[in-house]
Amino acid sequence: MGSTYRAAGGCWRPSTKEGHVGTTLVQRVAAASSSRDRVLDAAKTLALVVVVVGHSLAWHITPAITAANVLESERWLVPLTWVFQVLPIFFAAGAVSNAASLRRHGAREYLLRRSRGLATPVLIYAALWTVVLLPFGGMSQQVVGAGRFLSQLLWFAGVYLLVSSAAPVTARWAARRPLLVLGVWLLLIAGVDAVRWSGGPSWVGWVNLLLVWGWLHQLGYCIPVLRRRAGDGPAARAALALGAAALLAAAVALALFGPYSSSLVTIGGDSELSNLSPPTLVLALYGAGQVLLLVVLWPALAAFLSDDRRWAVVALVGARGIGIYLWHIPLVGCAAAIALLVGWVVVPLSPWWWVVHLLVVVVVLPLAWLIAGVAASVGRRLDRVPRLLPLPAAVAAVGAGLVVLNISVTGFATWAGSGMLGLWSSSLLNLVLLLLCWQAVGQVEADA
């Protein structure tokens, strides 16, 4: 095959070994990605794109000339958070890809590929903003705040790194006792929630940051089995559809009648338990319903994506998915900053509000894709950096995930301050530790 396809923060590019005279971009993408599961990649890509669109639409400028979440003033929009919260699909679909990579390469090589492929785009992003902002962090709290704004969404990358790093262990659990593991795991999630709403230590709730997203990843291992069962006939598909409906209904019931927020994203001023920061049983059940629904719709989605032109769009966007997720953060921030500078205050959801916000979506997505491509080019050069200080593959992978999580709390402009669980942290130290874990991997070729 004369092309390569890189989905872990990289990009598709033609091989230099042979030409592509007489072929179109669509044909080259189809050839380069012929071994990919189109539905699986589309699910992950859609999850990240929906996040970007949601963030591009969610901000607005208040009469006090401050940026805020539009949901804080327009609470009737809260049901839409159940439409835009699709990250559970990313973790579940990611488990299928992780299991396949683990089978192909073995535990050590899998960990090296995953940690380098996921950490490289984060390292480039973190290095840029730390170098730009940290020198001014001691002079202005606004700069410190900007550094935290630019880093706060990195929790996703950190958690996914940690969950993926556990795959050599969790994949074995899934193979031996899948239902038992999922059941006990879900009880642990419920137990953490119970401690949280009964007035226990606040840090206990954050245990679910790994438990909930890890459980959704664990559920993803079951997708191949569920797909085979769905293929048994209409009755099997109907049973899965009913299961999806029951799980979604259970999540909604808990949110409406339990101690949980009715929103699936965090909203300032919400007196009830957030379902995202940290995640809860509501999000776990909702994500499980999404996974079953995905399995039911799989044949229809596969048929839709069998058109190479549609698939080419998915492949080209998905190949830079992590990069798009990272670089949309400063772009949305720039849009809000410009609105603040010019004092742009309009009634939320008014026609003019929609015009500007849809324009932000139209600008942010392609611009983030382009910047992600530039960052991927830098990443390919960095991938040639040899291992200077070796570390065990598991240590490097888990270490990178923990550091990225800490960065999401500390920010990029904090010389000395609080990190995870209130522990002392520093933006400079975080960057050094991330670089240490990243280089310990050495030279590998990232795969999906």
Asked if residue 385 belongs to a domain, the reply is yes
Asked if residue 207 belongs to a domain, the reply is yes
Please state, in angstroms and rounded to a whole number, the distance separating the CA atoms of residues 62 and 69.
9
Asked if residue 444 belongs to a domain, the reply is no
Asked if residue 446 belongs to a domain, the reply is no
Cβ(178)–Cβ(221) below 8 Å: yes
Q: Please tell me the predicted confidence (pLDDT) of residue 442.
A: 63
Q: Please tell me the predicted confidence (pLDDT) of residue 333.
A: 96
Asked if residue 125 belongs to a domain, the reply is yes
Exposed/middle/buried for residue 197 (C-beta within 10 Å: 0-12, 13-18, 19+): middle
Torsion of CA 136, 138, 143, 147, to 10 degrees: 100
Reading the block at residue 340, the tokens are 């603040």
Q: What type of residue sits at position 265?
A: V
Please state, in angstroms and rounded to a whole number, the distance separating the CA atoms of residues 356 and 397.
41
Q: Please tell me the predicted confidence (pLDDT) of residue 3.
A: 43
Cα angle 35, 40, 42; round to 5: 100
DSSP of 198-220: TT--HHHHTTHHHHHHHHHHHHH
Q: Please tell me the predicted confidence (pLDDT) of residue 138.
A: 80
Tell me the average confidence (pLDDT) per consecutive run of 10 residues in the chain, 448 residues long.
43 43 79 92 97 96 90 92 96 97 94 91 98 91 94 97 98 96 98 93 94 98 96 94 98 96 88 90 98 98 96 96 97 96 92 96 98 96 82 93 97 93 92 94 56
Please state, in angstroms and rounded to a whole number, the distance separating the CA atoms of residues 365 and 376.
16
| 425: helix, strand or coil | strand
Domains in the chain, number: 1
Provide the domain limits for residue 409: 3-439
Asked if residue 50 belongs to a domain, the reply is yes
Q: What is the pTM of this model?
A: 0.92
